[in-house]
């Protein structure tokens, strides 16, 4: 088994959460196997989530937390995100981190576009895993909503900047899961961490 460089993002904005527990489980298991893990907890990151109206010609300077975040994305071979599903999407602060940090010149190259004008991705050669907690079971997420959150992550965010494939592991229903169920989920996440998957 090869050792991987992993960036792990807990996307839940609360100080304590199931997502944070899963992130910690992944981190401990991956580190125990010798993988290099850099961890970002969205609840502890201090930055303005609002991209604003400046456009790409007058970009807000990145706060230290966001500079560390994009630097670690550049460094990593594998990206892991834990996030709850809130109103069909990710929490605003996690989305804000992507809005602010994934900029031209770091994440994609607007000077180098394909035939239809899509910028060249600059974070190629990396894979991703999203650990998704929700009250909507995975089957209904597909049946009722066409896996919209999965398409946003895999195509419009991570895939756009070259991070692919993005694989998903869903945990649902999550809000009132008993400890036995949560322990089963932690065991699954621990295995993923050990395998850097």
Spell out the alpha helix ranges (H) of the chain.
Answer: 18-32, 64-75, 92-101, 138-145, 148-151, 179-195
Contact 59, 107 (CB under 8 A): no
Q: Are 99 and 56 in contact (CB under 8 A)?
A: no
Q: Answer whether the bond into residue 173 is a cis peptide, omega within 30°.
A: yes
Which residue range forms the structural domain that includes residue 19?
A: 5-195
* Residue count of the chain: 197
pTM score of the predicted model: 0.95
* Domain at 12, CATH number: 3.40.50.360
User: Which pair of tokens denotes residue 191?
Assistant: 């295995």
At residue 60, the pLDDT reads 86
**Domains in the chain, number:** 1
Distance, CA of 97 to CA of 42 (rounded, Å): 8
Taking only the tens place, the pLDDT of each residue in 63-109 is: 999 999 999 999 999 999 999 999 999 999 999 999 999 999 999 99
């Amino acid at each position: 088994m090869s050792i991987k460089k992993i960036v792990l993002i807990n996307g839940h904005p609360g100080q304590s959460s199931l997502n944070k527990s899963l992130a910690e489980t992944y981190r401990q298991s991956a580190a125990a196997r010798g993988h290099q893990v850099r961890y970002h907890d969205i609840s502890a990151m201090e930055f303005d989530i609002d991209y604003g109206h400046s456009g790409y010609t007058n970009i807000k300077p990145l706060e230290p937390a966001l500079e560390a975040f994009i630097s670690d994305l550049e460094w990593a071979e594998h990206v892991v995100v834990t996030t709850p599903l809130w109103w069909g999407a990710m929490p605003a602060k996690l989305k804000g981190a992507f809005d602010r940090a994934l900029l031209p010149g770091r994440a994609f190259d607007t000077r180098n576009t394909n035939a239809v004008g899509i910028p060249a991705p600059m974070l190629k050669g990396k894979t991703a895993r999203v650990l998704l907690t929700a009250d909507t079971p995975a089957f209904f997420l597909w049946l009722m909503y066409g896996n919209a959150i999965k398409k946003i992550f895999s195509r419009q965010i991570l895939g756009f900047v070259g991070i692919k494939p993005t694989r998903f592991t869903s945990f649902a229903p999550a809000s009132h899961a008993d400890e036995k169920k949560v322990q089963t989920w932690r065991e699954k996440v621990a295995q993923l961490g050990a395998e850097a998957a």
